[in-house]
Structure 1
């Protein structure tokens, strides 16, 4: 009887050890199957056969920096939150380090883009081994006006093994609902959006900003 109990105990221990090894192997396989989360900046031209743009556009890196650093993201708050905390302050579209990364690629892409191409940007910031925050959108010049479209702003993406990284393959698609508008530090250069233009370009209507950028840059060049 004692030997039988001992054998059962040994078998139970072996089964538990095998389960522990199996769980450890699954954990290692899970980690291996999750692509590494890293900071990333991608800027590329995307064809848009249905719309003609004023491309290519020659903008210096300094000019584009001056424009983008004046763009702010204003999140929409519920009335109760406004009552308790007041309106949220607008946030910069890109901070200084990100501007230094993204502007050279944007300026180069706009200088090479064809009349049927818009510029799409994807900026990812690592927030952990399985999470990143993404800022994505596009820009184009039409009728001598610069339109900046923002689809995601520091929007959280959880990296799940086996699921496609839609934020990377479809940067003009919102990964989760966000409520915000785009504002410009000098509102006198903002031009009312042509009705349906962004929807015609993207098939959706995300927040956008339309700027008389040449007039803005002329004034900026006169400032000390």
Structure 2
């Protein structure tokens, strides 16, 4: 029996996560060499599995050459084999594996594995957010390069900021209820956010560009530099604060 797209995304993300943990546990590499090995080995495993299971689909991966023939196809897997290479190499937990399927430009299917914590968030079991909003919303931002716009918006709406590593870890903090807002501007690509966006949308969260436009995938240029994922109750307020400058 053919595995469903959602189950495949989850399985591939979990498999790559186990591989990455094993590479780190070997102890024979460190620093940039460890990150490079993780990127390469996880990418090879993901591509091999997707090509075997979905030979008719195309793939866009951060760690592989871009075959622009994908632009003419409806179904494209968009993957980041190791999101947060720096965090992975430093022995931290806030790194992720992203496996997503974009259909006709929309992030339809996705899985985000957080292997260091043994957690996987996926569109096949996404949970609609529950519970009241806190008095002061929490916004996750980059621990190394928090974008100025995020800090300005946090001040404008009275949000507390939480520094965190990879894009996937930050987005899943919102999905898990550990934060309410993830706002980014200044340099991402489709593989950085396609899987997180698919999971967030399936769980009932708002996800858009920072001007409110939809996020579109499988573009000829995979640069997709800005992103807002947040509780739906906060979307209008955050977008208004962004527009106000």
Q: The TM-score by the shorter chain falls in which range?
A: under 0.3
Greater percentage in strand = 1
| TM-score of the superposed pair, with normalisation by structure 1 | 0.26
Q: Which has the higher contact order (CA 8 A, sep 6+)?
A: 1
- Greater fraction of residues in helix: 2
